[in-house]
Amino acid sequence: MQFLTTHLARCGTRLCLGLDLDPERIPDRYQGRSDPLGKLGADIVEATVDLVAAFKPNAAFYEQQGPAGWNSLTELVARIGQRAFVIVDAKRGDIGNTSARYARAFFDRMGAHALTLAPYMGRDSVEPFLAGRIPPVDQLGPGMGAYVLALTSNPGAADFQLLQVDGRPLYWRVLETLVRWNSGWAAGRLGAVVGATRAEELAAVRQAFPDLPLLIPGVGAQGGDLAAVQAALQLGNGPALINVSRDVLYGRDLVAEPEAVRERAREYARRLDLL
């Protein structure tokens, strides 16, 4: 993801804002309007786009609204445009024929720059998302890359990701495979999702795979320590995005007011620069 290295240098921050917008926590002034979720998302983007390198809208929070939610997400991606990197957090992963349709939906129709993927079904479930796509270095465009789940922050990650396979945890095998794919057909366009709540493992991953692009969720509400993440990232050079969702969207508030979201995003961006 050479384009992402260029983009991060231009932005001057690694902050990725997760847009997990809960319809039940929309400010009162948006209620009763047509598409309140879409309007809130648009206002949050405008309030924070100069402070972040990327946005990560969670598809589920939009898809639960049916066709209207899909339209809201599509409009949100279009609004962001090239001003920030857009990772749609959809965690797709199916047989090749189905993956090709997912790629068409999120990249060709929606215009997302990247997508999160589940690797369980192997190469033929991942490859269609990058088929025929050559990312530009100087501008953002649809289908530039994908982030594959490796070691996630949730407690259930231990059910499969930590299982030993020939003396190594399964997630390590995923990482090794991503590096191999990146040196071949994927041409460097795959990154890994590694959770911030596992700081020791994150440091080991960064040291062993220093050039692998990383998406690091779990800072803030999930308990990931920002300083530990920053220390781990010093062990490698690959482009890394640190995602914060609820801690920026809501803080101690019950609703996501764009002005307050901006101040919390500004504080995280400041902390990222200082650490």
Is pLDDT at 275 greater than 70 in this prediction?
Answer: no
Cα 110 to chain center, whole Å?
A: 16
Say how far apart CA 169 and CA 114 lie, in whole Å.
26
pLDDT band of 274, cuts 50, 70, 90: low
Q: Is 91 a catalytic residue?
A: yes
Nearest Cα neighbor of 219 from 2, 55, 17 is 17
Fold of 2-274: TIM Barrel (3.20.20)
Between the alpha carbon of residue 23 and those of residues 39, 70, 93, 161, 172, the distances in Å are 12, 14, 26, 31, 37
Among candidate residues 39, 91, 173, 246, the one labeled active-site is 91
pLDDT of 229-256, one tens digit each?
999 999 999 999 999 999 999 988 788 8
| pLDDT at residue 32, rounded to an integer | 81
pLDDT of 152-195, one tens digit each?
988 899 999 999 999 999 999 999 999 999 999 999 999 999 99
| 88: its two tokens | 């749609």
Q: Where are the domains of the chain?
A: 2-274
pLDDT of 57-105, one tens digit each?
999 999 999 999 999 999 999 999 999 999 999 999 999 899 999 999 9
* Predicted TM-score (pTM) of this structure: 0.95
| pLDDT at residue 254, rounded to an integer | 80
Q: With residue 38 as reference, give the H or E element that holds it.
A: helix 36-48
Question: How many Cα atoms within 13 Å fall on the side-chain side of residue 126?
Answer: 24
| 162: its two tokens | 């930590």
| pLDDT at residue 62, rounded to an integer | 93
pLDDT of 200-213, one tens digit each?
999 999 999 999 99
Say how far apart CA 6 and CA 171 lie, in whole Å.
28
Nearest Cα neighbor of 233 from 3, 7, 6, 8 is 8
pLDDT band of 223, cuts 50, 70, 90: confident
pLDDT of 24-48, one tens digit each?
888 989 888 888 999 999 999 999 9
Handedness of CA 72, 73, 76, 77 (dihedral sign): negative
